[in-house]
Amino acid sequence: MERVVVGPAEAGERIDRLLAARLEGLSRSRVKALILDGRVAVGARTIRDPGYRVNAGEALAVTVPPPEPAEPRPEPVPLDVVYEDADIIVVNKPAGMVVHPAAGHQSGTLVNALIAHCGASLSGIGGVRRPGIVHRLDKDTSGLMVVAKTDQAHQGLAAQFADHGRSGPLKRGYLAFVWGVPQRPKGMVDAPIDRHPHARERMAVRPGGRFAITHWETVERYAGTAGRPVASLLDCRLETGRTHQIRVHLAHIGHPLLGDATYGPGFRTKAALLSPEAAAALAALGRQALHAYMVSIQHPRTSEYLEFRAELPPELARLRRALAAGT
């Protein structure tokens, strides 16, 4: 049980706001849930109104139940842990791993693996002992993901990712192997994204969709067997975080990702323009050639600036070498 005595300067404050400020590790939404559940008392009175205004000298008692077990089961799935402390964990997700359990993917997900890896160090997000997922990667996209281990860290990271780095330190970098070579060395795609009108599992650039901006810069250009430009490597930075954003935006400007069967099926025949080595590397890839290689954040508790990087996985490194060898 946590106890708080209201100071003179705190008189008139909302009880949910005061407790969230005074009790470390509890977000305001978590405090509100505790109040509504009858777990906060002022003296001998149970307070069920989150908007209750406290008085100086009042003694507040908060009963915080132990976190409930997570609904997904822990599974000993190997993880590539880039960084971990008491508040956050940064992992390098492999291609093929789903983030959340869902229909058709009830096991083997990143969440299952994190529950097993972190164990009791997950202090309970929203009252449940589970990892706080604040951003996602597609199943077949590899790279860095930052995950919260505590309610406080989840709240801080969620605010940073919701802002998408427009006013804070958050940055996300992706390496994208695309068909063709953009005419300019760098550029921006500003195009709204919404569900595809006919294929609900796909996204599309549509008027009236959600605001979406992707910045890109050409890193390398690759020639094909005829000596003409056939593909390139782009460094992409997100200003927003829409579903399939990079894949949709790059296809929209005529440069879909290599290996993207969803947004670049019309480009499959271009594999004939690649060297035999590059064509073989692409065929073996079996997924879109996209990797989240960089993420920077402000630590949600210490405010320290942290930047993490992950090298290309072996299958993309092989594709890069093969493409470069033909140039």
Kindly report the CATH number assigned to the domain that includes residue 154: 3.30.2350.10
Task: Yes or no: say if 187 and 300 are a contact pair by the CB < 8 Å rule.
Answer: no
Distance CA 49, CA 32 (A): 8
Q: pLDDT tier at 103 (50, 70, 90 boundaries)? A: low
Asked if 85 and 45 sit in the same domain, the reply is no
Task: Yes or no: say if 292 and 237 are a contact pair by the CB < 8 Å rule.
Answer: no
Confidence (pLDDT) at 327: 64
Q: What's at 107, amino acid-wise? A: S
In this predicted structure, the answer to whether residue 26 has a pLDDT above a threshold of 90 is no
Asked if 320 and 187 sit in the same domain, the reply is yes
Q: Sign of torsion, CA 187 251 109 281?
A: negative
Asked if 282 and 237 sit in the same domain, the reply is yes
Size (the chain), residues:
327
Catalytic residue among 16, 138, 140, 151: 138
* Listed residues 107, 136, 162: the one ending a domain: 162
Q: pLDDT tier at 1 (50, 70, 90 boundaries)? A: confident
If one counts the domains in the chain, the total is: 3
Asked if 36 and 152 sit in the same domain, the reply is no
- Classify residue 299 as exposed, middle or buried by CB count within 10 Å of its CB (0-12, 13-18, 19+): middle
Query: What token pair was written down for 300?
Result: 């949600």
Q: pLDDT tier at 138 (50, 70, 90 boundaries)? A: very high
Asked if 224 and 315 sit in the same domain, the reply is yes
Q: Which residue has the higher pLDDT, 130 or 174?
A: 174
Domain around 93: 81-162
Asked if 138 and 193 sit in the same domain, the reply is no
Distance CA 36, CA 32 (A): 6
Confidence (pLDDT) at 238: 93
Asked if 104 and 239 sit in the same domain, the reply is no
Confidence (pLDDT) at 149: 93
In a domain, 200, yes or no: yes
Q: Which residue has the higher pLDDT, 166 or 78?
A: 78
Mean pLDDT confidence for 158-181: 91
Confidence (pLDDT) at 97: 95
pLDDT > 70: percent of the chain: 97
Strand partners, 217: 186, 235
Confidence (pLDDT) at 57: 92
Query: What token pair was written down for 266?
Result: 């019309």
Asked if 137 and 276 sit in the same domain, the reply is no
Asked if 54 and 130 sit in the same domain, the reply is no
Asked if 198 and 253 sit in the same domain, the reply is yes
In a domain, 68, yes or no: no
Confidence (pLDDT) at 284: 96
Asked if 183 and 148 sit in the same domain, the reply is no
Residue 138 catalytic?
yes
Confidence (pLDDT) at 277: 95
In this predicted structure, the answer to whether residue 19 has a pLDDT above a threshold of 70 is yes
Q: pLDDT tier at 104 (50, 70, 90 boundaries)? A: low
In this predicted structure, the answer to whether residue 232 has a pLDDT above a threshold of 70 is yes
Which of 84-88, 222-226, 270-274 is modeled with the greatest confidence? 84-88
In a domain, 157, yes or no: yes
CATH code of the domain containing 57: 3.10.290.10
In a domain, 30, yes or no: yes
Task: Yes or no: say if 146 and 157 are a contact pair by the CB < 8 Å rule.
Answer: yes
Q: pLDDT tier at 69 (50, 70, 90 boundaries)? A: low
Distance CA 105, CA 98 (A): 7
* Listed residues 62, 93, 113: the one ending a domain: 62
Mean pLDDT confidence for 196-207: 88
Which residue, 126, 82, 89, is CA-closest to 111? 89
In this predicted structure, the answer to whether residue 93 has a pLDDT above a threshold of 70 is yes
In a domain, 250, yes or no: yes
Distance CA 293, CA 82 (A): 12
Helix (H, G, I), strand (E, B) or coil at 280: helix
Q: pLDDT tier at 268 (50, 70, 90 boundaries)? A: confident
Confidence (pLDDT) at 126: 67
Query: What token pair was written down for 141?
Result: 């996209």
In a domain, 75, yes or no: no
Confidence (pLDDT) at 186: 97
Mean pLDDT confidence for 70-91: 91
In a domain, 74, yes or no: no
Task: Yes or no: say if 232 and 220 are a contact pair by the CB < 8 Å rule.
Answer: yes
Asked if 122 and 261 sit in the same domain, the reply is no
E strand residue ranges, the chain: 2-5, 40-42, 45-46, 59-62, 81-84, 88-93, 132-133, 142-148, 171-179, 186-190, 193-195, 203-205, 213-223, 229-238, 290-298, 305-309
Distance CA 97, CA 105 (A): 9
Confidence (pLDDT) at 70: 55
